[in-house]
Amino acid sequence: MENIEIARLLDETAALLEIDAADPFRVRSYRRAAEAVEQQTTRLDALVASDSKQLLSIPGIGKGMAANICQLVETGAIPLRTELLTKYKSTVLGLLKLPGMGPKTVALVWSALGVSDMDSLEAAAREGKLAGLPRMGERFATKLLKGIEDHRRNSGRFRVDRALDEAERISVLIRAFPGIDQITPAGSLRRGRESVGDLDLLVTGPACEPDVVAAAVEHVATLPLIDKLLARGQNKVSFTLRNNLQVDVRLLPRASYGAALQYFTGSKMHNVALRQRAIKRGLTLSEYALLRLEDNIIVAAASEEDIYRALDLEYIPPELRENCGEIEAAAASFLKAETGGLPRLIEFSDLCGDLHMHTEATDGRDTIRQMAEAALARGLAYIAITDHSKNLAMTNGLDDDRALAHVERIREVDRELQAVHGGRIRILPGIEVDILADGSLDLENSTLAKMDIVVASVHSHFNQPSEEMTARVLRALENPHVRILGHPTGRKILSREPYAIDIEQVLQRAGKLGVAVEHNANPARADLSDLHLRRAKEIGCKIVVNTDAHATEELDKMRYGITQLRRAWLTADDVLNTLPTAEALLARLRPKP
């Protein structure tokens, strides 16, 4: 059992206890345990198997909680959670995913109306039954109904990072079978979409040749993580995991692997356009091969590069295969045209800095030094420490005095690490300052003037009408100290829609003022989207990509950001924090007043 699954079940138990009006201390103990488990890099199921007493060394895990974790790993269940789900029904957990429906509100609608599932809650909202309950007026009902609509639209989809985690977990188990050489996720996951509906895994190697593949199919069909086996064919196995993610595993001979990889990666319209291109050349393209129509001779099949080349196209990176001009660009590149060809997309190795992260000074977990050391270990030459400002009280945000003291501490650590590492890592003092409801900023200009990097972000009043939200952000951009606009649309993938804002106006004004717009690489945000990033480039906006990391390991989330930049057709030259030094970066940002 993965740590993330253990943490989820512990957190759900805490929520159920809160619905049940249990002792707050008991609720907090489960919440603390869930947070602690999620942060562990060592697998807890391995600790349970080897020496369960090691669980007690994890902060937040006492003897009772350690016993719960052991039972969970061994049986797949927590008795208390099972008992509470019997009382309230398992559907009550779905209500917690809706806006405004915290445990106390869920408890209220259950006790007052007997509501424990989404359909009943929707009916109660539409019939006006919520109006008589505390804090549940017409505005609440309207917001709730929209939340239910959004949830249903996104149900059955999974964030890209979670899908990738599952792909890697499954791949480890498949590779245990002798004769497996290569496993590649295909479909929307390989294209880097923000979320996926299902998971396609293509497998090849000597064990996948037609005369021996049956044994490998049997191995896949009996993987221990399968919740429900859906189908098993000669070379394909379909199943669902416990989280309802459907997985299709195809075991293919090496000779046709490239054709299958191309077929199962491209979007529907990309593949249609390629097939039409093939027909015009007297060829036919399928998941098995690119064949000559007149005699069924194989023209290409073993590699994607061979297939694109045979169609007079430069190889098209997976992230671009959406039928958004990539085929025309690949044709121009193949012909070595001077313009209109495929760009050299940005790569992770191009990145030199990260300009948005948090430390223990506010809601981060690690110190300035630890974040800098971790960034250096990942090959970065500079970072900016941008802890929260005071408006976010829940994050222990910095007021003006604390912010100024924090700047001095950052500069002190910067000097220390420059001496230790010979100047290979620079730490820039900064802040993520809140854009308040009226567009003013959360700290004094005299304080912001001391920062090298000021990231301005919206963290509150998400329900403002579009005109108000747009005016709010535009006013913030006018502040001469703002150098970066953080996560500009406020969306959270599969959990929160973007707030209403005229992003075109915002990008136009940011471009004119020289304010960089951020792509927040955290896969929970992916904000700006790939389409908005492409528009930002067209307008001439400066662009940066940041992790918004709150712990050292979250710096690894940059990989997801790079994927989205590639989907937006961006090159290294389009992204400011590919510049090699902090000095070069600062010179390209909006000039300080």
We report the CATH number of the domain holding residue 191 as 3.30.460.10
Q: How far apart are CA 47 and CA 55, in angstroms?
A: 7
Domain holding 171, by residue range, is 158-252
- Closest by CA position to 131, among listed 141, 122, 121, 123: 141
Taking a C-beta distance cutoff of 8 angstroms, is the pair 577, 355 a contact?
Answer: yes
Walk across the sheet containing 246-252 and list its strands.
182-185, 198-204, 246-252, 236-240, 228-232
**C-beta neighbour count of 341 within 10 angstroms:** 17
Taking a C-beta distance cutoff of 8 angstroms, is the pair 69, 37 a contact?
Answer: yes
Q: How far apart are CA 419 and CA 269, in angstroms?
A: 55
- Closest by CA position to 530, among listed 556, 584, 480, 491: 491
Walk across the sheet containing 298-300 and list its strands.
283-285, 290-292, 298-300
Q: Are residues 310 and 453 in the same domain?
A: no
Structure tokens at 171: 């791949």
Q: Are residues 222 and 269 in the same domain?
A: no
258-294 b/e (C-beta count within 10 Å ≥ 16 → b): bbbbbbbbbbeebbebbbebbeeeebebebebbbbee
Q: Are residues 375 and 511 in the same domain?
A: yes
- Count of H helices and E strands in the chain? 24, 17
pLDDT at residue 114, rounded to an integer: 87
pLDDT at residue 400, rounded to an integer: 97
We report the CATH number of the domain holding residue 303 as 3.30.210.10
Q: How far apart are CA 374 and CA 554, in angstroms?
A: 10
Q: Are residues 357 and 263 in the same domain?
A: no
- Closest by CA position to 491, among listed 539, 458, 464: 458
Q: Is 396 left (phi over 0), alpha (psi -120 to 50) or beta?
A: left
- Which of 334, 369, 389 marks a domain boundary? 334
Structure tokens at 216: 């490998």
Q: How many structural domains comprise the chain?
A: 4
Structure tokens at 107: 């408890």
Q: Are residues 276 and 295 in the same domain?
A: yes
For 7, 12, 74, 76, 216, the CA distances from 69, given in Å and listed in that order, are 10, 14, 8, 9, 34
Q: Are residues 266 and 197 in the same domain?
A: no
Residues contacting residue 90 through CB under 8 Å, at least 6 positions apart: none
Q: How far apart are CA 227 and CA 289, in angstroms?
A: 33
**H or E element at residue 237:** strand 236-240
**C-beta neighbour count of 46 within 10 angstroms:** 11
pLDDT at residue 395, rounded to an integer: 82
Q: How remote is the C-alpha of 411 from its chain's centroid?
A: 31
- Closest by CA position to 516, among listed 469, 431, 586, 442: 586
Q: How remote is the C-alpha of 440 from its chain's centroid?
A: 30
Beta bridge partner(s), residue 429:
385
Structure tokens at 543: 């662009």
For residue 466, give the 3-state DSSP assignment. Answer: helix
- Which of 286, 306, 334 marks a domain boundary? 334
- Which of 37, 64, 88 marks a domain boundary? 88
Q: Are residues 549 and 442 in the same domain?
A: yes
Q: How far apart are CA 253 and CA 8, in angstroms?
A: 39
Bond before 202 cis per omega within 30 degrees: no
Q: Are residues 208 and 193 in the same domain?
A: yes
Taking a C-beta distance cutoff of 8 angstroms, is the pair 329, 335 a contact?
Answer: no
For 185, 364, 465, the CA distances from 360, given in Å and listed in that order, are 37, 4, 35
For residue 44, give the 3-state DSSP assignment. Answer: helix
pLDDT at residue 43, rounded to an integer: 78
Q: Are residues 37 and 64 in the same domain?
A: yes
pLDDT at residue 134, rounded to an integer: 84
Q: How far apart are CA 565 and CA 561, in angstroms?
A: 6
We report the CATH number of the domain holding residue 565 as 3.20.20.140
Q: Are residues 209 and 82 in the same domain?
A: no
Average pLDDT by stretches of 10, the chain with 593 residues: 83 90 89 80 82 85 91 89 87 85 88 87 88 84 85 80 95 97 96 95 97 97 94 96 92 96 95 96 96 95 97 98 94 94 97 97 95 98 97 88 98 97 96 98 97 97 94 98 97 88 96 98 96 95 97 96 98 98 98 94
Taking a C-beta distance cutoff of 8 angstroms, is the pair 428, 384 a contact?
Answer: yes
